[in-house]
């Protein structure tokens, strides 16, 4: 089968509530846009009057039957949907549905946008929405190779997305250009539309006109990184790694002060902790970074971004999500149950130390479960307890 690209058509995967506004900006350019976003019911896909609950095995089986897939496609798509996280299967299901229909019709969008939160990992997420990974998108692409081969231009409306941009040609082998961000990306209300329009005009055709200088003098334009088959990677002049290393080492004290609660974040976009986080991201993206340095920096990155959003999001979501475990754990030790959502970082750490002392070496099972959540989650901010879509 010969791939028939629908030149100019855009597949837009938007995980944030503001994503429809960005898609509308692209429609104003005259380009057809297929939008995939958060469903009204989490993990549900609607086809006509039928609703499929992809959080259940029956819902997934019924959808796969409806899509009329081959046996190999059913295996791959079914496994991807089954392993998907809560509140992400609706977007994954919509993507599978769109690609299945497009392949049968032999006409496929040749451009794709992913608009979401991102922190330099392989995960994308939306505010109060689920998490979608590169591996999940690549898995679906492998089930629909003609749809994947049709994609020639890819735009990430996502912060720190330049770090892993070069993994994407393995999912979309015909890629000619990519637009990403070495730092933070503009939000929907603060410049994302401007950048999307620039990208849309430059990728009408072979994308030969796409250069990062087109974003010059726009908000967050300095953070734009562009890759093309014609010119390779175009990014801002890279600072010598020795200078970034020295700054990161000098500012580890600042990181520790925020970790200990001696300083509090007052603005999640600016301030000393955000500056430190940006330096860590810059090191992770630097071509001269050694692989031996990477694991420690990735840990700092993941902790720092959770500290940045500790008061705004993390403490409240932790209390809400683990309320029953917290209640049971404190009750097992006959202690008053605190509300960690109202504790600042320093107060929360003090409460955890006090609870740990009360628990001793052999606490009841409920207290042990609570202690692990408090230490791994609220204290150490591990991703297993504090997922990316809380930040």
Are 217 and 349 found together in one domain? no
pLDDT for 191 equals 87
Banded pLDDT at 1 (limits 50, 70, 90): very low
pLDDT for 318 equals 98
Are 174 and 193 found together in one domain? yes
- 3-class secondary-structure state, position 323: helix
Are 227 and 351 found together in one domain? no
Query: What digits encode the pLDDT tens for the residues 21-66?
Result: 999 989 999 999 999 999 999 999 999 999 999 999 999 999 999 9
* Distance from C-alpha of 390 to C-alpha of 190, rounded to nearest angstrom: 22
Provide, rounded to the nearest whole percent, the portion of the chain with pLDDT above 90: 91
CA distances 168 to 162, 183, 269, Å, are 11, 19, 28
pLDDT for 110 equals 94
**Mean pLDDT, rounded, for 241-255:** 97
Banded pLDDT at 104 (limits 50, 70, 90): confident
Are 180 and 278 found together in one domain? no
234's enclosing H/E stretch is strand 232-234
Are 184 and 246 found together in one domain? no
Are 211 and 180 found together in one domain? yes
Which residues are paired to 6 by β-bridges?
109
**Mean pLDDT, rounded, for 188-193:** 86
Q: Where does a domain end: 205, 234, 263?
A: 234
Are 188 and 321 found together in one domain? no
Are 206 and 320 found together in one domain? no
User: Domain containing 30: what range?
Assistant: 5-234
pTM assigned to the model: 0.91
Q: Between residues 201 and 106, which one has the greater pLDDT?
A: 201
Q: Where does a domain end: 210, 234, 258?
A: 234
Banded pLDDT at 206 (limits 50, 70, 90): confident
**Mean pLDDT, rounded, for 83-100:** 96
Are 93 and 202 found together in one domain? yes
pLDDT at 218 over 80: yes
Are 125 and 203 found together in one domain? yes
pLDDT at 189 over 90: no
Are 254 and 362 found together in one domain? no
pLDDT for 107 equals 74
Residue 125: Cβ-neighbour burial (10 angstroms; 0-12, 13-18, 19+): buried
Are 304 and 315 found together in one domain? no
Q: How many domains does the chain divide into? A: 3
Q: Where does a domain end: 215, 234, 253?
A: 234
Concatenate the DSSP letters of all residues of 216-229 into one string: TTSTTGGGEEEEET
**Mean pLDDT, rounded, for 316-324:** 97
């Amino acid at each position: 089968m010969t791939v028939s690209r629908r030149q100019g058509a855009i597949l837009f995967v938007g995980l944030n509530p503001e994503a429809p506004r960005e898609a509308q900006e692209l429609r104003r350019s005259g380009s057809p846009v297929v939008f995939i976003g958060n469903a009204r019911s989490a993990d549900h896909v609607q086809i006509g009057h039928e609703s499929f609950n992809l959080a259940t095995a029956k819902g997934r089986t019924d959808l796969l039957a409806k899509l009329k897939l081959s046996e190999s496609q059913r295996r791959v798509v079914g496994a991807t949907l089954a392993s998907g996280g809560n509140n992400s299967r609706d977007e994954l299901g919509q993507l599978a549905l769109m690609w299945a229909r497009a392949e049968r019709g032999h006409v496929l969008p040749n451009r794709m946008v992913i608009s979401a939160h991102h922190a330099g990992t392989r995960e994308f997420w939306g505010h109060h929405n689920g998490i979608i990974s590169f591996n999940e998108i690549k898995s679906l692409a492998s089930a629909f190779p003609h749809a994947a081969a049709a994609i020639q231009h890819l735009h990430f409306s996502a912060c720190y997305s330049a770090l892993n941009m070069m993994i994407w040609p393995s999912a979309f082998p015909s890629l000619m250009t990519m637009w990403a961000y070495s730092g933070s990306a503009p939000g929907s209300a603060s410049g994302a539309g401007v950048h999307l329009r620039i990208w849309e005009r430059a990728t009408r055709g072979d994308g030969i006109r796409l250069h990062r200088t087109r974003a010059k003098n726009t908000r967050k334009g300095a953070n734009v990184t562009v890759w093309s088959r014609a010119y390779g990677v175009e990014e801002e002049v890279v600072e010598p790694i020795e200078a970034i290393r020295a700054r990161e080492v000098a500012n580890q004290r600042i990181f520790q002060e925020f970790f200990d609660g001696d300083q509090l974040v007052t603005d999640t976009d600016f301030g000393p902790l955000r500056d430190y986080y940006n330096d860590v991201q810059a090191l992770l993206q630097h071509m001269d970074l050694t692989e031996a340095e990477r694991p420690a920096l990735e840990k700092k990155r993941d902790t720092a971004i959770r500290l940045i959003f500790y008061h705004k999001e993390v403490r409240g979501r932790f209390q809400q999500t683990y309320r029953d475990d917290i209640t049971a754990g404190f009750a097992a030790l006959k202690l008053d149950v605190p509300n960690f959502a109202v504790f600042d970082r320093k107060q929360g750490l003090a409460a955890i130390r006090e609870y740990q002392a009360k628990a001793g070496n052999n606490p009841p099972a409920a207290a042990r479960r609570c202690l692990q959540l408090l230490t791994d989650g609220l204290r150490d901010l591990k991703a297993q307890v504090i997922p990316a879509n809380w930040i």
